[in-house]
Homo-oligomer: A and B are copies of this chain.
Amino acid sequence: KEVVLLPGDGVGQEIMKGARTVLETVASEYDHEFVFHEHAIGGDAIDRYGVPLPDDTVKACEAADAVLLGAVGGPKWDDMPADKRPEKGLLGIRKRLGLFANLRPVQGFGPLVHASPLKTELVDGCDILIVRELTGGLYFGEPSGRSEDGQSVVDTLSYTREEIERIVEKGFEAAQMRSGHLTSVDKANVLESSRMWREVVNEKAADYPDVTVEHQLVDSAAMKLITNPKHFDVIVTENLFGDILSDEASVLTGSLGMLPSASVRTDGVGLYEPVHGSAPDIAGQGIVNPLGMILSTAMMLKYSFGMEKEAEEIERAVSQTLADGYHTRDLDVEGGKVVDTEGIIGKVIDHLS
């Protein structure tokens, strides 16, 4: 299997090393062969090639079986013009590969339920999957920019019915494979795009009689995610709402650093990346939590390569590492043993081999 690695910026290199080591261990344990090709994206690509998404990178991703991405962005590139910002690399590759569905699972991980800012009984047993639309909405709508006189600015939230349909279907399918409850999040009391979204959800519901559907307004959902997280099973929502709610939902696990994600399309290559960003403030210090990235490789094995068992092995190794009390600095677990990035990768590898 050919895997493209896009470490990107900030802590990207450090976490990618963890992903690679884990995959190499899995390969030797299970007799697979993974071939890795590293390419540039984001600020790193701007520095080296002058653009956030070089053509070479796109071509390599299109030819690969799967893509692993670290993170992009940082203050260094803050004053770049619109088309030379690291984030354009990430948004560009999502769009170019047509990865319209971003799957973000959020689970309480054993001892981590105590690391959550929420009361333990609320998060213990939580298991949510956020299905976020990834290639539409305010992120890509045109026009987007300033008026000629610089006195006003617009961004455009646009969706085609088809774009809404395919992501809503993903939501229903995910709910069907889980406990059969789908929460669709929108702002239908204000936005026309949300009215169409809600209409499509209601139409599709007829095709999935075994799934119970509920609509929530995004403001209300942002509250209920905290007051009653166990209410949720699968959440399906548009791009920006999904961005906000998934970062928020990270509080259920104790650290954003724990969360993996998969960006997929109906078939073909997928892109796997942790939910956290490039964390420039701690980059290069060897202390970043690599588990979100490592769990993303498990999602890759499952979704892109059909290697269910290998994926579960990685998840088990991560759980056991945490159960042994090891964790990185970002987690606040009473009586835990704080180790650095290399340290935690080593523990996971120990449990894998």
Contacts and interface: CB of A to CB of B under 8 A. Distances in A.
B85 A187 contact: no
A304 interface: no
B146 A153 contact: no
20 contacts: A117-B119, A118-B118, A118-B226, A141-B154, A146-B192, A146-B196, A152-B161, A153-B158, A153-B159, A154-B192, A155-B191, A187-B243, A218-B243, A219-B246, A219-B248, A222-B245, A223-B250, A223-B256, A227-B251, A248-B248
How many copies of the polypeptide does the oligomer hold? 2
A223 B251 contact: yes
A232 to B, nearest CB: 14
A209 interface: no
Given A191-B138, A222-B245, A251-B223, A151 B162 contact: yes
B222 A247 contact: yes
Interface string A180-211: 00000001011111011000000000000000
Interface of A: 73, 82, 85, 87, 91, 117-119, 122, 138-139, 141, 144-146, 150-162, 187, 189-193, 195-196, 218-220, 222-223, 226-227, 240, 243-248, 250-251, 256, 277
B155 A192 contact: yes
Contacts of A117: 118-119, 122, 226-227
Contacts of A247: 219-220, 222-223
Given A250-B223, A251-B226, A160 B152 contact: yes
A138 B188 CA distance: 12
B161 A151 contact: yes
Nearest to A254: B227
A196 B151 CA distance: 9
Q: Which of A146, A153, A159, A227 has the most CB of B within 10 A?
A: A153
Contacts of A243: 187, 218-219
B190 A138 contact: yes
Nearest to A239: B190
A283 to B, nearest CB: 16
A246 B220 CA distance: 10
Nearest to A275: B219
Contacts of A248: 219, 222-223, 226, 248
Contacts of A220: 247, 277
Closest 6 pairs between A and B when the two form their complex, measured CB to CB: A219-B247, A222-B248, A155-B157, A154-B158, A226-B251, A152-B160
Contacts of A157: 138, 154-157
Contacts of A240: 187
A152 B145 contact: no
A246 B227 CA distance: 14
A48 to B, nearest CB: 20
A190 B151 contact: no
B85 A155 contact: no
A192 to B, nearest CB: 5
Nearest to A228: B117
